[in-house]
Amino acid sequence: MPDSGPDPRVADLGFARLDVDRAARTGDPEVVYGAGKTPEQLVTILRTLHERHPDRAVLATRLSEEALATVPEALPEAVVDRVARAVTLGPLPAARGTVAILSAGTSDAPVAAEAALTIRVHGAGVDRIDDVGVAGLHRLLGVRDRLASADCLVVVAGMEGALPSVVGGLSGVPLVAVPTSVGYGASFGGVAALLGMLNSCAPGVTVVNIDNGYGAGVFAARVARNAAPRPDAS
Amino acid sequence: MPDSGPDPRVADLGFARLDVDRAARTGDPEVVYGAGKTPEQLVTILRTLHERHPDRAVLATRLSEEALATVPEALPEAVVDRVARAVTLGPLPAARGTVAILSAGTSDAPVAAEAALTIRVHGAGVDRIDDVGVAGLHRLLGVRDRLASADCLVVVAGMEGALPSVVGGLSGVPLVAVPTSVGYGASFGGVAALLGMLNSCAPGVTVVNIDNGYGAGVFAARVARNAAPRPDAS
Amino acid sequence: MPDSGPDPRVADLGFARLDVDRAARTGDPEVVYGAGKTPEQLVTILRTLHERHPDRAVLATRLSEEALATVPEALPEAVVDRVARAVTLGPLPAARGTVAILSAGTSDAPVAAEAALTIRVHGAGVDRIDDVGVAGLHRLLGVRDRLASADCLVVVAGMEGALPSVVGGLSGVPLVAVPTSVGYGASFGGVAALLGMLNSCAPGVTVVNIDNGYGAGVFAARVARNAAPRPDAS
Amino acid sequence: MPDSGPDPRVADLGFARLDVDRAARTGDPEVVYGAGKTPEQLVTILRTLHERHPDRAVLATRLSEEALATVPEALPEAVVDRVARAVTLGPLPAARGTVAILSAGTSDAPVAAEAALTIRVHGAGVDRIDDVGVAGLHRLLGVRDRLASADCLVVVAGMEGALPSVVGGLSGVPLVAVPTSVGYGASFGGVAALLGMLNSCAPGVTVVNIDNGYGAGVFAARVARNAAPRPDAS
Amino acid sequence: MPDSGPDPRVADLGFARLDVDRAARTGDPEVVYGAGKTPEQLVTILRTLHERHPDRAVLATRLSEEALATVPEALPEAVVDRVARAVTLGPLPAARGTVAILSAGTSDAPVAAEAALTIRVHGAGVDRIDDVGVAGLHRLLGVRDRLASADCLVVVAGMEGALPSVVGGLSGVPLVAVPTSVGYGASFGGVAALLGMLNSCAPGVTVVNIDNGYGAGVFAARVARNAAPRPDAS
Amino acid sequence: MPDSGPDPRVADLGFARLDVDRAARTGDPEVVYGAGKTPEQLVTILRTLHERHPDRAVLATRLSEEALATVPEALPEAVVDRVARAVTLGPLPAARGTVAILSAGTSDAPVAAEAALTIRVHGAGVDRIDDVGVAGLHRLLGVRDRLASADCLVVVAGMEGALPSVVGGLSGVPLVAVPTSVGYGASFGGVAALLGMLNSCAPGVTVVNIDNGYGAGVFAARVARNAAPRPDAS
Amino acid sequence: MPDSGPDPRVADLGFARLDVDRAARTGDPEVVYGAGKTPEQLVTILRTLHERHPDRAVLATRLSEEALATVPEALPEAVVDRVARAVTLGPLPAARGTVAILSAGTSDAPVAAEAALTIRVHGAGVDRIDDVGVAGLHRLLGVRDRLASADCLVVVAGMEGALPSVVGGLSGVPLVAVPTSVGYGASFGGVAALLGMLNSCAPGVTVVNIDNGYGAGVFAARVARNAAPRPDAS
Amino acid sequence: MPDSGPDPRVADLGFARLDVDRAARTGDPEVVYGAGKTPEQLVTILRTLHERHPDRAVLATRLSEEALATVPEALPEAVVDRVARAVTLGPLPAARGTVAILSAGTSDAPVAAEAALTIRVHGAGVDRIDDVGVAGLHRLLGVRDRLASADCLVVVAGMEGALPSVVGGLSGVPLVAVPTSVGYGASFGGVAALLGMLNSCAPGVTVVNIDNGYGAGVFAARVARNAAPRPDAS
């Protein structure tokens, strides 16, 4: 049976065939989704990608407790973010543009942290604004100038997911909403927040999957980078 | 086969057996749910109830276009509320206590109107505050004193149903949320708003069925009446 | 990047920014949602809030087994309610008004207990009426006088959630229904009871989220306090 | 291609192949599901079945308005039940045993009527008990002796579907619950009632599909007939 | 606050108030739902009920592994059914009438066993017919005479839940279908089987909740007992 | 802005860009999905495709009543199948291999007819076996030889969707199941049948979307053509 | 009862209170959601907004057939877009930046058109790329250069909603996906496409509500405007 | 009570009655579903089936970790496939025809492996094509010749499930899609992928249950065997 031959855009590690061409197609760094992978597999993948691109950071997300403990032992130069449950290897890029990340409550911290690290790895800067849930509006109204000075907003909330609607009414900056699985009973693991955000009465709110801080971060970094003046344009 | 005999608490109209004992049990007036009833049936029921209790109002809700046109012809003393799609017959009671009704948008008007008329028929007063959706907070923040002076709040909203969470963070007055079927796509006929309200991050928010302005009105009137000083207590 | 500065209405503990202004806005005490917090975090939060308001109780709900054991060791003056899985710190307020809490079965006890403690902390009195499920009506019919003498009813039930409809037909006192996750198969973790209560044929029934004894308690206490004669009014 | 040849247990009408063997297998009469069939097709089917079995009734259910008007013109000896939207042709059998049919509200009448006619056609007797919804318990408590004297109960209810639980707690007679699509909002076309009945806290409640008065009737008639003393056994 | 006083129809054990009046109302024995109860509580309840009614069996269902091991140590005369995960205490009644229990596959055995034991405790006899799934029709067609000689059928099946439709086409005996949670993926814990049974094309199929062998057993035993000639009638 | 230029594989009609390359890629004829297209658009599309490929049939499915009447007037050589609500234009290919189409009831006829016409247009032969629902097994058992002689089976059923499980237990021929939207109440427009088929206990059953006779037909024709001996291979 | 007084940021038309302050807060033009409004109301709103801001376009979306015919008669200078079912009044702004709009099939045209018009009204340019569904990849691969030269992508698709995943793998430009309600059976009015897009395997895909071309357009225009070099910056 | 006697088509093991007649009816080998069975039961079943048919392979799927370790100890000649979590006993048949199995990502490997082993046991050959997800199209486009040379395609994908639509547009070979439970948040355990595949815009895609590699394998092997020239036909 004919085979299509080895593909230079793929790194075959035996247990996985890495797409190492994404940077060429999309301009983004390499990212490893850690769920379901053993610490050994993660170390191999991170090392392989780092060797191919030693000048830019590789990101691994959704690490297990075991992987968070093991990976830095095998790769001492790796940097661990315990709240985001993620690891980076290699130098972070300079930041172009700023993404403001708003979160509603303390329980939303892991998703906000994953978004923040993803944004930094993808080349934009971050302004964190935490604990500004809609049941205490004074906290949100006190940061309106920080909203206005951002190039993109990432708004993280669980429960009823109302925060993006309120923020979207205060600002015209592009806004990505991230529903989290925080809640109980009829929150259905984040579905209530997801539906709330999809039905926002504020126009121009877009949404990613439940707990998907990574996806929101990739998108927001792209928007912020493009909105910032090019360094070589000055 | 033995029968339980005619019951003085029931008026048998042939096509329906009316429970005319509710006032004795619960202190509330008689209400007719109009959906699925012919105009002729509605006229008969309204007339029967009015003759039994000529000194207090009877309410009919969810009337069809045909019934809204026909009932006043047969019962000229009936008062029609076209927005609420409802009719009353007999004098409205004096108002004890006040319920503030907030609505998010113009499309929520029919549900807010049904709640308002129900509250008046059940013996409390009403303060309507319309078009205070969360995407334009300044409108809501401008009415905080009206919230504080109410004995109960009814908050009507469709789409993401965020308004009760914001109001509940501004005020400690008992709050009943009413989701409406306003919206499209993933609003699922009001389910998104219902879930949002059930998962409100503001404590002390209770919820009724989608578009159920009547149920919210009954509840809020009971709360407001009890909270007001008894006229005979002075 | 400009910051909005330290806010006297917020206590920043590093891992969380406490909203210590809620009492001023809504008249309610401070409450800590314990799920997902470590015993150390809970002790710090409880102690901080208690120091700010030593004259009134602080409530912590949804404690883990570990927290239920650890918190009283660190805070010997804390009072533990094992059935409610909750802790209070500081003196309970005097009770104004009475909330009757009805529960359908033994399995509903934790939710009823959470509602009861919440009501006491929020300044109203409690009358517990347990094991009055609709499959044994004689037990419910025997307590009609207790229903009538309450200022608000909290009705807790799982499975088909029929109890609020029956109680709502017996009494005109404002009624808050709490669905519980008791059941199996097509109960879907409380959804069957939630839908049953939202569709109650008794008018004036309002509903909170599944297992949300806390939310029902906050609401009911507000209603009962307002319905009671003001002590300073005499 | 080989064919299985004409089958004496099947009557081929061109547009449908009737199973005329069911009586031999199950002891039940012939029934035609009218939805989606033209009046002409219904007349042909009813006439064919009647000619095969002139000594016992044929039943057609779920007739359209047009069919309810047309069929009796073509078949003058047919008997129309407008509430049940059904027609019978041929003599009803003598009744053995009794099924009590309880319904919660006026809107449940079509489903209760379909069940009643089905039971009579299948050879049992009927005791109708209408408008005994759980929000007015006194009506239900007044008919306990009629429940006790029945051989099977059919309980019809929409909205929250609580009636079977209450009835099942009052009586040990076999009980079939029928959810109806009466309701709005989060009743989801009868799903709330269906779930309520499946999760009934009263043991021994069985359920049929939403609005399926016919299915409940077939089942209840079989139970009642078997429970009655055989006429030839005396 | 007035109390309704001790009720002779209730046994108060401190942790629960037992309804010991059910036999008088419905003619059925006492049954304990074991899920969520400690072995100590179960022993106390079983002993109390047995002392009140030493002449008839008490049934406890849904026992944990721990309870299945502990209860017989404390109550040596108890009889354990490991497949049904249930225990009986006291003599089983004589059997009147017969219920045939059909199950589709080996994985349905626990639900079928719970139904069988329930039927025996409630005074009817049992004929077990296992492993007759519809993908091997010859096994089912071989037992048609056993179907015909039963007074009621209980049909247990998971996955697509097709067995009741096929059995219902072969027999006119009253049929109760029990969906089980056997399956994976889009079976959604038994919902696929539940929907299949509710939509059965065979008339006269009734359904109970997922895995509810107990409920089906109570119902079927009532039907079978009533269908059998009374022993004292001969 | 650069454009990719006119593509010979696409026919641009102004209101649509037809993919006229599918035959080259997949070997299948051109098919037009008629829902939402005006009769004029359908005539234009059919004529365009027919002119490109006059030697083979073009198929249009899901036609409205208006289109079924109008298209043959504009294209007299078109052949209308009223049951399938479809039209063909051009000569049908010779049949290679045979697909047996089984349907459960009369109401499934439109879906079975759409599958049958699709199969013929895609070059395979059809054997129709109607009204073989599982509640009357004798009809199905009488056609086992026709099942065995087919190269592929298409099994069409609504309600509980049990027919594929029974057929799949009788035969090892590849089987495609088509759920139909026939049913009411908890059939949810075909979802019950869809879930039943996805969870079939017979191995080797595959499923298409609800009412998707066309998709099943395309698949089955491909299987049957490949299974038949090539005419040019002899 | 105290009122908050007339608010200059609100235009009170009697039947609605317009938020005319949005431009100040968010920089976006005024938009009227036409669903549920009478043609007369639409004319009044459009005229009012146009008089306040004669130098920039006002947009009305989701117009009924009646409104599409009536509005231009009353406002002859209005421009109608029949495919988008929308109307503009006033001059369109100059375009800064470009949004490429991709659609999968002909049926997605109304949603794509609504997005396109919204983008133009909000100050960005549009490049339409239609009929590039994933079942004919050659059409999509032929426009890769147009993807690369855009500042933001809007990808519109119904059915399985796969197009955004494929496009997101080809390009690193920020991508907003719009699910449409095109489909039948288990597409559930666009839910299948919505879930597909939320679960896209391509990182950086964000989603709006079903058929919400307007929301996607607002967001994409903001992104594109910010990404383009400021005209005053040269 | 009459019994139908021992059936030679059934092997009664006490804990289960094996259908050992399937090969005669459907031509397929014996397969054991391992979930929920103890290692001892599995060994007994495998040994029994192997003794009856020593010349062909028996397959056991869905084995627990414990069973994967225990079975080979008791049956040393058994062959373990750890990725597929399956075991075979006895010689694999010669391969007739080829099934190409495509998988989207590394996490889909267990389902693809189960399909591959099932196909081999059922007598067809396998061509594995892994890691060809739609977000990196170049990998898929490079294997078009392998698609064309297969007799059937099995396409395995989680997340949005888009791969079958893209493959179905590239090839006319019969295609069976397998959704996997890979994903998080709104993937709902594979429901998003399942819906995506059911709504595929490529015609002729059929679907099996979530993670059902076994069912897809049985079906595909039947198709491939029939499509291949019979060895005895040459």
In this prediction, residue D154 carries a pLDDT of: 98
pLDDT one-digit tens code per residue, A56-71: 899 999 999 999 999 9
Bridge pairing between strands D152-157 and A205-207:
unpaired
| Residues on chain C touching A98 (C-beta within 8 angstroms) | 1
Q: Do E209 and C184 touch (CB under 8 A)?
A: yes
Confidence class for position D232, pLDDT limits 50, 70, 90: low
Q: Which segments of chain A have a pLDDT < 70?
A: 1-8, 19, 22-23, 230-234
Q: Can you tell me whether residue H138 is helix, strand or coil?
A: helix
Closest partner residue to B2 (CB to CB) among D145, D186, D187 is: D145
How many other CB atoms are there within 10 angstroms of residue F124's CB atom?
27
pTM above 0.95, yes or no: no
Please tell me the distance from the alpha carbon of residue B61 to that of residue B67, in angstroms, as a whole number. 10
E-only strand ranges, chain E: 10-12, 17-19, 31-33, 58-61, 79-81, 86-89, 98-103, 125-129, 152-157, 175-179, 205-207
Which stretches of chain B sit within 8 Å of chain G by CB? 98, 106-107, 127, 130-131, 135-136, 138-139, 142-143, 145-146, 149, 184-187
Q: Do D1 and F149 touch (CB under 8 A)?
A: yes
Does the structure show a pLDDT above 80 at E62?
yes
Number of residues in chain G: 234
Q: What are phi and psi of H154, to 5 degrees?
A: -115, 120
Distant-in-sequence, close-in-space partners of A65: CB < 8 Å, separation ≥ 6:
none
Instruction: For residue B103, give the amino acid letter.
Output: S
Q: Which residue has the higher pLDDT, B232 or C87?
A: C87
How many CB pairs lie under 8 A apart between chains D and F?
A: 51
B204-222 mean pLDDT: 96
pLDDT one-digit tens code per residue, A88-122: 999 999 999 999 999 998 889 999 999 999 999 99
Q: Do B223 and C174 touch (CB under 8 A)?
A: yes
CB-count exposure of residue E145 (10 Å: 0-12, 13-18, 19+):
exposed
Which stretches of chain F sit within 8 Å of chain E by CB? 104-105, 133-137, 141, 159-162, 165-166, 168-170, 183, 185-188, 191-193, 195-202
Whether the CB-CB separation of F228 and F123 falls below 8 Å is answered with: no
Among C202-211, F52-61, H20-29, whose mean pLDDT is lowest?
H20-29
Q: Do F199 and E191 touch (CB under 8 A)?
A: no
pLDDT one-digit tens code per residue, F2-48: 444 566 666 777 777 676 776 677 778 889 999 888 899 999 999 99
pLDDT one-digit tens code per residue, H85-107: 999 999 999 999 999 999 998 88
| Residues on chain F touching D19 (C-beta within 8 angstroms) | 135-136, 139
How many other CB atoms are there within 10 angstroms of residue C64's CB atom?
16
In this prediction, residue G111 carries a pLDDT of: 97
Average pLDDT across chain E, whole number:
89
Confidence class for position C230, pLDDT limits 50, 70, 90: low
Distant-in-sequence, close-in-space partners of F234: CB < 8 Å, separation ≥ 6:
none
Listed ranges B158-162, F180-184, G27-31; the one with the highest mean pLDDT: B158-162
Q: Do E227 and D222 touch (CB under 8 A)?
A: no
| Residues on chain D touching C190 (C-beta within 8 angstroms) | none
Does the structure show a pLDDT above 70 at C233?
no
Closest chain G residue to B149, measured at CA: G1
In this prediction, residue H185 carries a pLDDT of: 87
In this prediction, residue B79 carries a pLDDT of: 96
Chains touching chain F at 3 or more Cβ pairs under 8 angstroms?
Answer: D, E, G, H
C164-173 mean pLDDT: 94
Taking the CA of residue F192 and the nearest CA in chain D, the distance in Å comes to: 12
In this prediction, residue G11 carries a pLDDT of: 76
Please tell me the distance from the alpha carbon of residue C116 to that of residue C95, in angstroms, as a whole number. 12
Taking the CA of residue D228 and the nearest CA in chain F, the distance in Å comes to: 28
For residue C194, what are its two tokens? 């939630």
E148-163 mean pLDDT: 95
Which stretches of chain B sit within 8 Å of chain D by CB? 1-4, 7, 9-10, 15-17, 19, 21-22, 35-36, 179, 181, 189-191, 194, 209-212
SS3 labels along D158-181: CCCCCHHHHHHHHCCCCEEEEECC
Does the structure show a pLDDT above 80 at H233?
no
In this prediction, residue B233 carries a pLDDT of: 42
Q: Which residue has the higher pLDDT, G91 or G13?
A: G91
Does the structure show a pLDDT above 50 at G155?
yes
Whether the CB-CB separation of C180 and C78 falls below 8 Å is answered with: no
Average pLDDT across chain F, whole number:
89
Does the structure show a pLDDT above 70 at C120?
yes
Taking the CA of residue F65 and the nearest CA in chain G, the distance in Å comes to: 18
CB-count exposure of residue F35 (10 Å: 0-12, 13-18, 19+):
middle
In this prediction, residue E185 carries a pLDDT of: 87
D56-62 mean pLDDT: 94
Closest chain B residue to D131, measured at CA: B17
Q: Do A160 and B165 touch (CB under 8 A)?
A: yes
Average pLDDT across chain B, whole number:
89
In this prediction, residue D2 carries a pLDDT of: 42
Confidence class for position C57, pLDDT limits 50, 70, 90: very high
The candidate with the shortest Cα–Cα distance to B184, out of A82, A218, G62, C92, is: G62
Q: Do D169 and C202 touch (CB under 8 A)?
A: no
Whether the CB-CB separation of F51 and F43 falls below 8 Å is answered with: no
Q: Do E136 and H19 touch (CB under 8 A)?
A: yes
Q: Do E195 and F197 touch (CB under 8 A)?
A: no
| Residues on chain G touching H133 (C-beta within 8 angstroms) | 169, 201
Confidence class for position E2, pLDDT limits 50, 70, 90: very low
The candidate with the shortest Cα–Cα distance to G36, out of C55, D146, B105, is: B105
* Cα within 13 Å of Cα(B94), Cβ side: 4
Q: Which residue has the higher pLDDT, E114 or E33?
A: E114
F66-84 mean pLDDT: 95
Q: Which residue has the higher pLDDT, H117 or D36?
A: H117
Please tell me the distance from the alpha carbon of residue F190 to that of residue F179, in angstroms, as a whole number. 6
Q: Do F146 and D16 touch (CB under 8 A)?
A: no
Q: Which residue has the higher pLDDT, D129 or G26?
A: D129
In this prediction, residue D117 carries a pLDDT of: 98
% of chain D with per-residue pLDDT over 70: 91
pLDDT one-digit tens code per residue, E5-32: 566 666 777 676 676 776 677 778 889 9
% of chain D with per-residue pLDDT over 90: 69
Separation of CA G52 from chain center: 23
Listed ranges B4-8, G13-17, G63-67, H12-16; the one with the highest mean pLDDT: G63-67
Q: Which residue has the higher pLDDT, E201 or B25?
A: E201
The candidate with the shortest Cα–Cα distance to D93, out of D233, D234, D224, is: D224
Distant-in-sequence, close-in-space partners of C20: CB < 8 Å, separation ≥ 6:
C9, C10, C11, C30, C49, C52
Please tell me the distance from the alpha carbon of residue A153 to that of residue A116, in angstroms, as a whole number. 11
Average pLDDT across chain H, whole number:
89
CB-count exposure of residue D38 (10 Å: 0-12, 13-18, 19+):
middle
Among C162-176, H68-82, H219-233, whose mean pLDDT is lowest?
H219-233
pLDDT one-digit tens code per residue, D163-209: 999 999 999 999 999 999 988 888 899 999 999 999 998 988 999 99
